[in-house]
Amino acid sequence: MPSSDFGKDYICTWIRQRFPVTATILDVGACDGKWRTLLDEFSNMDAVEIFPPSAEAIRPMYRNVICSDIDGLNYGPYDLIIFGDVIEHMTVEKAQRVLSYAKLRCKDMIVGVPYRYPQGPMYGNEYERHIQDDLTEELFMTRYKGLSILIGSYNYGYFHKEIKK
């Protein structure tokens, strides 16, 4: 399912202010390629998509498309990793493992999640099920240490990697 449009303009501006167009970007859970379309000037963008029909559909849009579960995948380094509407599809333990691994393989990361949003399989895709349908900003910050809120609303939030100075 395509991700929420909330905050995407803000996030795109944030990315453009911090990264050159030559930056390497990994779009995890790319689905329909929304981030690739929004950040079209960034040519070094790769994708990881778990659902084979979606991976095939977006293949022409990205430099590389890997059809795989991100958990256990060896990748990186990247300048930026985007997890747009991905974490809620994983157990807490799996998401913690995935984000911990990713933090070591990027300069920064964006994690976008819906809050309190139950969802079952959609479009014949079992991976669309929301396992963490209880997320709130506070709960996210408790479960996922080392990430800070960038922008949020009552039903959606974007977080990024805390940079140690």
pLDDT in tens, 121-147: 998 999 999 999 999 999 999 999 999
What is the Cα–Cα distance from 116 to 97, expressed in whole angstroms?
Answer: 22
Is the CB of residue 134 less than 8 Å from the CB of residue 92? no
What is the Cα–Cα distance from 90 to 129, expressed in whole angstroms?
Answer: 9
For residue 3, being part of any structural domain is answered with: no
Strand order in the sheet with 25-28: 64-67, 45-49, 25-28, 78-84, 106-114, 156-161, 147-152
For residue 151, being part of any structural domain is answered with: yes
Spatial neighbors of 30 by CB under 8 A, at least 6 apart, are 36, 47, 48, 49, 54, 55, 58, 62, 65
What is the Cα–Cα distance from 90 to 97, expressed in whole angstroms?
Answer: 10
At 113 the pLDDT is 97
For residue 89, being part of any structural domain is answered with: yes
**For the chain, what is the domain count?**
1
Ordered DSSP codes for 63-86? SEEEES-STT-----EEEEEEES-
pLDDT tens per residue, range 11-22: 999 999 999 999
Residue identified by tokens 């690739």 is 36
What is the overall mean pLDDT for the chain?
95
For residue 1, being part of any structural domain is answered with: no
| CATH number for the domain harbouring residue 34 | 3.40.50.150
For residue 2, being part of any structural domain is answered with: no
Residue range(s) defining the domain that contains residue 134: 8-161
